[in-house]
Structure 1
Amino acid sequence: MELEILYQDDDLVAINKPAGMLVHRSWLDKHETVFAMQTLRDQLGQHVFPIHRLDRPTSGVLLFALNSETARLMSEQFEQHQVKKSYLAIVRGYLNGEGRIDYPLKIQLDKIADKFASQSKEPQQAITDYCCLKQVEMSYPAGKHQTARYSLVELYPQTGRKHQLRRHLKHLFHPIIGDSRYGDLHQNRAFVEHNPCSRLFLHSQSLHFIHPKKMQKIEIIAPLDEQWQKTFQFFGWE
């Protein structure tokens, strides 16, 4: 498959990662054969260096470096929270207005990979800002409710904890639609029964940063895929 390239120069390349694709090979997913990193390397005919990651079910902007020096410089920008990120999510219920979720998250350890890691670490600071863009009420029942309500929200993570956005929205009782781990099973089931798009509705919409070599402001935006577009039509959203 050919990956959609959103930005490319001598030092950096950004793709629009499809939902369901792993960023790179992992021994936890031994049966998988398709990875963004290897696919992009083969597509460009050169080595690429991962700088950050997206969860497997999340789509959108994924940035790679084309040399180790740029990878180091960009990794530092991510670690120092100098990269501005925005995401789009469709969540359960009416999440009104805008606000900040300041809710520390416990480090999530993997049963196998982190077998010998300390289980007693303090929760880490985690902050997400959000803004509601659209809302809709559908006439079909979901769980114990006679109708199903949804909000389209823009999310701005200020920290980068594992599954931060998914865990923060669960904390607000507005889980992301299609989230099999932190979501609402009844809502997800009702949604799929009426809309054939089955995925996590979380999309890495944009990255803003200063180019580490050119020292220019760079903004990379990832367009929404077909499932997102179909869902917007289903909800009657522009």
Structure 2
Amino acid sequence: MSVPAPLQLLHLDEHLVAVNKPHSLAVHRSRLVGEDEDYLIDRLRLQVDGRLHAVHRLDRATSGVLLVARSQEIAAELGRQLMARTVGKSYLAVVRGWPAEQGEIDYPLSGSSLRGEAKPALTRWRRLATVEVPIASGRYAQQRYALLEVQPQTGRYRQIRRHFHHVSHHLLGDTSHGRGDHNRLIRQHYGVHRLLLHAWRLEVVHPATQAPLRFEAPLDDSWQRLLGTFGWSGALPADDVALRHPAAAAAHE
């Protein structure tokens, strides 16, 4: 049996770990992901000693910053910050079409079973770049795509994917809520075989020291290749305090 590739650690101290989760890797065993032989928590145990507690969720298909606590007490404190919505989260996503330069989607969503009572859900975005590619599909001779920075204000199941499906700006590579024709197009013409959703930046107050922390997860080869092909390599914004989550920005003042 081959040894799994080591994970990229963004931060490591005696209280918590921040890791850059690869796409197509489940965080841990759960009824939502079925039975795999490879989980992020199991890989992380090969690199970090002691108990590990994942304190928030990223879908198997989503990559990016994931926080892991090294004690139950730290996990509980991080959980309180998440519940209070004082953790700043920024994702990168590529969607079909050209949404407005900025906006929000305020649309209630049900739970992980996709049934039951819908609860309030709010997602904000700003558009970073656009492209029109000369590839015919369906009724159109060209296809339009956009790179977005997305900031979910709530934490519903697959919130970003379901919200952009709701407004018909489906995420590329989304095999559950996206468009099969556009997924095939990016596979065949650009060699992208993944969901283009990445948990890019995360800001949190360290639960032990109270120091503000900010993590940024580098993009993988598929992302980098597509950014270069679409002419978006310079589109990612630098650190911009004005765009931070209000609570996280206040911690830096």
TM over 0.5: yes
Q: Which amino acid aligns with 1:60?
A: G
Q: State how far apart, in whole Å, the 1-side matches of 2:31 and 2:210 are.
A: 37
Q: Which residue of 1 aligns with 2:68?
A: 64
Structure 2 residue 22 is matched with structure 1 residue 21: no
Q: Which amino acid aligns with 2:132?
A: E
3-state secondary structure, aligned to 1:43 = coil
How many residues are treated as equivalent by the alignment? 229
Q: State how far apart, in whole Å, the 1-side matches of 2:96 and 2:18 are.
A: 30
Q: Which residue of 2 aligns with 1:128?
A: 123
Structure-to-structure mapping, 1:140-159, within 5 angstroms = 140-159=135-154
Instruction: Identify the match of residue 88 of structure 1 among 85, 88, 92.
Output: 92
Say if 2:109 and 2:119, in contact at 8 Å, map to a contact too. Answer: yes
CA RMSD of the aligned region, Å? 1.3
Q: Which residue of 1 aligns with 2:214?
A: 219
3-state secondary structure, aligned to 2:46 = helix
Q: Which amino acid aligns with 2:95?
A: V
Q: Which residue of 1 aligns with 2:58?
A: 54
- Superposed CA deviations along residues 88-133 of structure 1, whole A, max 9, x for unmatched, are 00000111210111111122317xxxxxxxx5x4310000010000
What TM-score do you get using the length of structure 1 for normalisation? 0.92
3-state secondary structure, aligned to 1:134 = strand
Structure 2 residue 77 is matched with structure 1 residue 73: yes
Say if 2:137 and 2:143, in contact at 8 Å, map to a contact too. Answer: yes
- Superposed CA deviations along residues 60-111 of structure 1, whole A, max 9, x for unmatched, are 000000111101100111111111100000000111210111111122317x
Q: Which amino acid aligns with 2:199?
A: S
Deviation of 1:30 after TM superposition, in Å, equals 4.9
Q: State how far apart, in whole Å, the 1-side matches of 2:62 and 2:195 are.
A: 7
Q: Which residue of 1 aligns with 2:241?
A: none
Q: State how far apart, in whole Å, the 2-side matches of 1:171 and 1:50 are.
A: 29
Structure 2 residue 165 is matched with structure 1 residue 170: yes
Say if 2:91 and 2:151, in contact at 8 Å, map to a contact too. Answer: yes
3-state secondary structure, aligned to 2:11 = strand
What TM-score do you get using the length of structure 2 for normalisation? 0.87
Deviation of 1:27 after TM superposition, in Å, equals 5.0
Greater alpha carbon shift after TM alignment, 28-37 vs 176-185:
28-37
Q: Which residue of 2 aligns with 1:208?
A: 203
Name structure 2 gaps, 5 residues minimum: 234-253
Name structure 1 gaps, 5 residues minimum: 111-118
Q: Which residue of 1 aligns with 2:249?
A: none
Q: 1:143 to 1:167 in 2, by over 3 A?
A: same
Q: 1:21 to 1:97 in 2, by over 3 A?
A: same
Q: State how far apart, in whole Å, the 2-side matches of 1:23 and 1:57 are.
A: 10
Q: State how far apart, in whole Å, the 2-side matches of 1:52 and 1:85 are.
A: 12
Q: State how far apart, in whole Å, the 2-side matches of 1:209 and 1:103 are.
A: 26
Q: State how far apart, in whole Å, the 2-side matches of 1:30 and 1:65 are.
A: 24
Q: State how far apart, in whole Å, the 2-side matches of 1:196 and 1:146 are.
A: 20
Q: Which residue of 2 aligns with 1:114?
A: none
Q: Which residue of 1 aligns with 2:110?
A: 106
Give the 4+ runs in structure 1 shifted more than 2 A: 26-31
Q: 1:145 to 1:108 in 2, by over 3 A?
A: same
Q: State how far apart, in whole Å, the 2-side matches of 1:56 and 1:182 are.
A: 14
Q: Which amino acid aligns with 1:219?
A: R
